[in-house]
Structure 1
């Protein structure tokens, strides 16, 4: 399983990289028009960069990374360099993030060339991974393996997906999909753009990519913003078990919110009452899918979003109420499909290709079974969904490597942001990375449950990001393992 422009004049400009380094990296990018509407509206330009499939053999086979750029809007004397970005995943397309600079307050993003890219294997990059586009279709087995037959069905389904990945993609590409490979691609982009150093804005898994990049290329880092930070201690088997607890906690917070607005939703006046209605529907769907398509898996896939983003709470509350009070399963079907439930499996294929090979996973299913049932006792909603999402790693056709020992001592300053009830990337990960990056400062939003959404209109957070990108100055760092700054999260939404 996101500030005065005048101060820019005093900022240091970014020098060009020595020609030899750029030559070693790759060819240049030939820029042309973009097809993405967001980039077109932002005046962006797009192109491809050829990079080595295997950096140990730089003159061997090449692949192409799709890159987008929205250039700086200030005079060249106030230019602050390139801003590489990543939306997370792994497997998320990042081209559109080239337009993110305009979202920052006080024109703080105007001094940078914002660079979005589709990581290797993703989206418009070539080749793009695809294994089985029908994998997330309807009529899947119940996530909860209450019988040995269900468990075996899911294991066979997981093995079939891994086999399809081996059959339908280059084995060489599958073997070179690790975060270290993408970090090297990032450095190739930096070099091709003629930048001695790069700035970076990353979300979720993109924060782990930042950690790896900063460990491999500390001298190339200028400024970094990390939103919702991955804990490097747990990549990636244990991190998924840790996520399960956070998602179950957060859906409980959402139950409380739904109960608060019983006058709107009519689903119960207490969190316990709402939970009972939720559980009753889940049980019914296990026996009879609504409309023949919305079973327990689709139901949980939709409501997982309550643990990610508070901004989706009203949409989910409306769909829940319509389903219970009006028998409207069509709205739930639309949400399932809109939340990437059905369609191209590129994102899932890349997710596995990275997660399964960044670090070893247990190959003994008995360990998976024991760990997930143990976690299930504390997190019954999403534990087995997450287990089956990752189960193809048991059979993955490429070998896992050794994870990078993340070391941020060579990086001068990093700004981190995290909401303390973030489910996908638990807050403890931000504290761990802050410890490994002595130059990092952490902004915490106590009680917030949303994930990776900056800038999102929270002035306390957004203004500090803008000030950092404008001047490079960070708030003072506090001693010990704690946040350096706290900001109240955005208010919970009103239906």
Structure 2
């Protein structure tokens, strides 16, 4: 389930919001102090760390530190709605950028809550932070699509070494305790440290799976629950990635269709097939001679991932593509570096530490290979990219566990939101979550291809979120496995000069 940390954080900029030394005061187990991020300061946030057990089965044993932030409510106590915890995507996405998310809720709904955000264990400002090989996401890597046995062997050697480095450079006990269940239990300790009986949750992308697990483990402690772009609990995580390959590839084709409409701006082809030919020609050119010795076909494929996640990225990716065709490869290089973050593998290390240990993956490379080539026939642009991204799970140094059975019958209500052509978390996942949460209502955006876009200015969606947070009001639940109401997705972007 490749939800890149930079994208899963919904494009919010992350600057570690560490406590200023000497300003902290102890409050119910959290050492609160001043934040250093200016946007957090302007929002009136406070920041701190909470000590939690490394192993929740050994509560008095070794501890790790969870970085936490809070923006307090601004309404009278008679209107106070309690604590709302935001749950970030990934796995591996920083949660602290969501500190200011409440400011995007229309009306006064956000002011009725304490908005609490956190970096999951191993991530960002939480301590210790995982890292395995900061140079792994480097330039000019092997060709994603194996052209021969040597390409396949090169990637298997790379992924095997990454898994080995993770085991060598990190405490095995830490690697064994970064499961989704650990994140869910950390949320419950945040709740306890804040001295409240219940919390509301606002979860996006992978964070929706954390919320599902929390709801299964602690149903009576969930007050209200918003899930944007829900993980399909049936398929964690190997089959989710196979499904994602097809959905992401479809969205790349949708972007190419859009590019063709604006050939007068981008000059990449006046038909989708022409744009496709231009794309494939550039891949072949870079395979023969990486641009600047840095940007090969694998880097180009990664640079185009934002277009598969969000229509808001379509113009940026198209401009970089046009520059590449015109001979300037720097914009594609910059996009690749923004997506993969060479020199910092924290998000990727945590992604694998969670997904590889939440559930057992197929143990034989032969099955991975067969499934990849089968899926490749439908999704040639994303399948092998995603296969190699997850392949360290073949050799992960700690044992996998058993996933929690997701049962939302004990949760009184939930609001689900999804764009029906979401590539990262395909639409059937939200339908399945709705089935498992009888108190849930699902808002669908038909035809939208973007991922995790709530509170980004869609009045129809955002007003429903505000109403639910303020009063608990939900769209009426309909019969059958379908959305309960719809909102129009944002209009497609129009490039400058069109």
What band does the TM-score fall into relative to the shorter chain? over 0.9
> Residue in 1 aligned with 2:69?
68
- Tell me if structure 2 keeps the 8 A contact 1:27–1:50: no
117-126 or 337-346, larger mean C-alpha shift? 337-346
| TM-score, normalising length: structure 2 | 0.93
Q: How does 1:239-254 map to 2 (within 5 A)?
A: 239-254=240-255
263-272 or 414-423, larger mean C-alpha shift? 263-272
Structure 2 Cα separation of the partners of residues 197 and 457 of structure 1: 29
> Residue in 2 aligned with 1:277?
278
> Residue in 1 aligned with 2:239?
238
SS of structure 1 residue aligned to 2:488: coil
- Tell me if structure 2 keeps the 8 A contact 1:27–1:49: no
Structure 1 Cα separation of the partners of residues 38 and 180 of structure 2: 29
> Residue in 2 aligned with 1:379?
379
C-alpha deviation, 1:337, in angstroms: 1.4
C-alpha deviation, 1:45, in angstroms: 0.6
> Residue in 2 aligned with 1:359?
359
> Residue in 1 aligned with 2:192?
191
C-alpha deviation, 1:35, in angstroms: 2.0
- Tell me if structure 2 keeps the 8 A contact 1:68–1:96: no
- Tell me if structure 2 keeps the 8 A contact 1:38–1:96: no
> Residue in 1 aligned with 2:266?
265
SS of structure 2 residue aligned to 1:268: coil
Structure 2 Cα separation of the partners of residues 306 and 405 of structure 1: 33
Structure 1 Cα separation of the partners of residues 80 and 428 of structure 2: 35
C-alpha deviation, 1:76, in angstroms: 1.8
1:316-363: CA deviation from partner (whole Å, max 9, x where unpaired): 111111211x21111111121122341210000000000000000011
Structure 2 Cα separation of the partners of residues 337 and 104 of structure 1: 31
Structure 2 Cα separation of the partners of residues 172 and 465 of structure 1: 39
C-alpha deviation, 1:382, in angstroms: 0.9
Structure 2 Cα separation of the partners of residues 335 and 239 of structure 1: 25
> Residue in 2 aligned with 1:8?
none
1:44-93: CA deviation from partner (whole Å, max 9, x where unpaired): 11001001111111111111101011111111221111111122000011
| TM-score, normalising length: structure 1 | 0.94
> Residue in 1 aligned with 2:323?
322
- Tell me if structure 2 keeps the 8 A contact 1:301–1:341: no
> Residue in 1 aligned with 2:305?
304
> Residue in 2 aligned with 1:209?
210
C-alpha deviation, 1:107, in angstroms: 2.5
- Tell me if structure 2 keeps the 8 A contact 1:308–1:423: yes
Structure 2 Cα separation of the partners of residues 293 and 149 of structure 1: 20
Are 2:128 and 1:130 aligned?
no
C-alpha deviation, 1:38, in angstroms: 2.6
1:238-293: CA deviation from partner (whole Å, max 9, x where unpaired): 10011000111001100111011111111111111111111111111111111211
Structure 2 Cα separation of the partners of residues 33 and 378 of structure 1: 51
Structure 1 Cα separation of the partners of residues 287 and 306 of structure 2: 20
C-alpha deviation, 1:139, in angstroms: 2.3
C-alpha deviation, 1:27, in angstroms: 6.2
Are 2:96 and 1:101 aligned?
no
C-alpha deviation, 1:452, in angstroms: 0.3
- Tell me if structure 1 keeps the 8 A contact 2:435–2:481: yes
- Tell me if structure 2 keeps the 8 A contact 1:83–1:112: yes
1:156-200: CA deviation from partner (whole Å, max 9, x where unpaired): 111110111111111001111110011000000001001110001
Q: How does 1:18-97 map to 2 (within 5 A)?
A: 28-97=29-98
Structure 1 gaps of 5+ residues are 3-25
Are 2:328 and 1:337 aligned?
no
> Residue in 1 aligned with 2:438?
438
Structure 2 Cα separation of the partners of residues 332 and 249 of structure 1: 21
Q: How does 1:113-128 map to 2 (within 5 A)?
A: 113-128=114-129
Structure 1 Cα separation of the partners of residues 256 and 350 of structure 2: 33
Structure 2 Cα separation of the partners of residues 150 and 276 of structure 1: 24
What value does the CA root-mean-square deviation take over the aligned residues? 1.1
- Tell me if structure 2 keeps the 8 A contact 1:36–1:96: no
Q: Structure 1 runs of 4+ off > 3 angstroms?
A: none
Structure 2 Cα separation of the partners of residues 464 and 448 of structure 1: 18
> Residue in 2 aligned with 1:395?
395
> Residue in 1 aligned with 2:421?
421
> Residue in 2 aligned with 1:465?
465
SS of structure 2 residue aligned to 1:107: coil
Are 2:188 and 1:182 aligned?
no
- Tell me if structure 2 keeps the 8 A contact 1:90–1:354: yes
Structure 1 Cα separation of the partners of residues 218 and 233 of structure 2: 17
Structure 2 gaps of 5+ residues are 3-7, 9-26
Structure 2 Cα separation of the partners of residues 186 and 207 of structure 1: 13
Structure 2 Cα separation of the partners of residues 384 and 338 of structure 1: 20
Structure 2 Cα separation of the partners of residues 37 and 382 of structure 1: 38
Structure 2 Cα separation of the partners of residues 272 and 341 of structure 1: 31
1:358-391: CA deviation from partner (whole Å, max 9, x where unpaired): 0000110000000001000110001001000000
